[in-house]
Chain A
Amino acid sequence: MRLRDQRVQTVVLGAVGIALFLALWEAIGVNRLAGMTWPPFSTVMVFLFDPSRQGLFLRAMGASFAMAGMGYLLGTLIGMALAGLVQIVPVLRPGVDRLSSVVNAIPAIALAPLFIVLLDREYTGMAIATLNVFFVLYVATTSGLNNASATHRDLFSVLGASPTTRFFRLDLPAALPAIASGLKYAIPAAFIGAILGEWFGSSRGLGLLMVSAMQNFQIPLLWSAVFIASAASLLVFGLMGLIERFVYGRYK
């Protein structure tokens, strides 16, 4: 009962927090406290849900989400595969660790021009998303694969486990909570990458919408695009949080 009360309390407090945030947004907008460029929440919503703009937003969403999604998948695959590789061939570990840190230390915005030259500019967003997600998943997986306790390792040794058995029956399951956390934190990274990439001259997407709205001073359009990107990222982040909680409950 107590746990349930706590959960109800968390949900209620969360809802109150969101309501307060939106009310503040509305109040600042209505009273022009932040000037002309801060529209009230209601104005943005009316603009966003106007049927005449549905096609525009859906096309932009489709393009951005596809780039974010593909970057997410690609980054996850590369990150986890490399983490698995350095687990099997440990000599590679320091090198790959350093390389991925270096790549991550370079701001994506500095690499974007390179991607535009190297790749189609339509895919720059996906490339940055891949890079961002790759790093998160590589770090999460490599650290997760070392999560098995010393006693568990000893147990598998005494039982005569082969390296493959040890990997699939111990190291991988023990890594799942860390991987689930990585998958969660990679969500915003994928969105950032995709939208940032679209700023650099993509012909579609929320990023393009943002840039053109900014340049043409279409304030409600700008806010709508930002709202869509934020809401989508938060929603998927929340869903991944649920999966993460399940994995923690099961594997930790």
Chain B
Amino acid sequence: MAAVLEHPAAGAAETAADWAIHVDHVGKVFTLDDGQQLTAIESVDLRIGKGEFVALLGPSGCGKSTILRLVAALETASKGRVVVEGTDPLALSRAHRLGVAFQDHALLPWLTVRDNVALPYKVAGRKVDQERVRALLALVGLDTFENARPRQLSGGMRQRVSIARALVLKPDVLLLDEPFGALDAVTRRHMNVELQRIWSEQKITTLLVTHSVEEALFLADRVVVMSGRPGRVIKTIDVPFARPRSPDVQRTAEFHRLADELTLALEPEGGH
């Protein structure tokens, strides 16, 4: 769980296999419809160790989602490169080794909860491991809803299904793009506690994108703060709390101190 973040001198060649995710001095420029160029991220260097949970924190439009989309092979870098598990992200997604959950639950409305969780097997052309599907539904507390359809579930339940789906193939890397961003505050806090419990059982390399300081602190091993625009990393904090974390952690003085520090870093002027 190295705390290394910006070591430009570390040399790119040796790092490829050492990190689960290496965003290697990556920049991303979007060309808008009118031909205007928009620099979403300038030069971000981010390294995530195997089994590490990193939260990318920042205001909207700071390019944090762009970084996640680069790691998910949904975008390609304009400069620099992204290496995931020693290979190109696209190769990893083609090998069905990525798990993802978005803010929009993205469940298929025509499938039952069980079939939604089993979808990655079908997409990968593998036989569905019903035991695994059932175990994951139990893990997210929805085993009694396996035959329900997404529309019959609450927003929080849908997100739990989408997280079960992200985990079902035991991915090498889990990508969470504001998974609870559309939920109300109470449900969101509850979902964070759930996700923390689930994650502590699996310890998959995870990149979480969020704009919630508390969510980042409660869930991650390391919080990386970004500022826009163009997006760049302005601060990194190692989160000292041991796992599994109980919700009480959020009421400790240390938690509040770190939360204040992060909140300050998020202010437009960088907090100083």
Contact = CB atoms under 8 A, between A and B. Distances in A.
Interface of A: 149, 151-152, 154-161, 165, 169-170, 173, 176, 250-252
Nearest to A150: B104
A197 B98 CA distance: 57
B106 A155 contact: yes
B108 A170 contact: yes
B241 interface: no
Contact of B110 (A151, A157, A159, A250): A250
Interface string B71-112: 011100000000000000000011110101010101011100
A158 B98 CA distance: 6
A169 B109 CA distance: 12
A251 B111 CA distance: 8
A192 B233 CA distance: 65
Main SS of the interface on chain A? helix
6 contacts: A149-B106, A154-B102, A157-B93, A158-B72, A160-B124, A170-B108
Interface stretch (B7-15, B115-123, B208-216, B247-255): B115-123
Given A151-B102, A154-B102, A160 B110 contact: no
Q: Which has the most chain A C-beta neighbours within 10 Å: B98, B104, B108?
A: B108
Contacts of B69: 154
A154 B166 CA distance: 13
Given A159-B96, A159-B123, A251 B73 contact: no
B104 A160 contact: no
Contacts of B108: 152, 169-170, 173
A252 B124 contact: no
A160 B92 CA distance: 8
Q: Which has the most chain B C-beta neighbours within 10 Å: A151, A158, A161, A252?
A: A158
Contact of A165 (B74, B102, B109, B123): B123
Nearest to B89: A158
Contacts of A170: 108
A169 to B, nearest CB: 6
Q: Which has the most chain A C-beta neighbours within 10 Å: B69, B98, B110?
A: B110
B67 interface: no
Given A149-B106, A152-B108, A170-B108, A159 B124 contact: yes
Nearest to A247: B110
A149 B150 CA distance: 15
A160 B123 contact: yes
A158 B95 contact: no
A176 B122 CA distance: 20
A170 to B, nearest CB: 7
Q: Which has the most chain B C-beta neighbours within 10 Å: A151, A160, A169?
A: A160
B125 interface: yes
Contacts of A173: 108, 110
Contacts of B120: 159
Given A159-B119, A160-B93, A151 B106 contact: yes
Nearest to B98: A158
A159 B175 CA distance: 11
B102 A160 contact: no
B89 to A, nearest CB: 9
B178 to A, nearest CB: 12
A161 B125 CA distance: 9
Contacts of B100: 154-155, 158-159
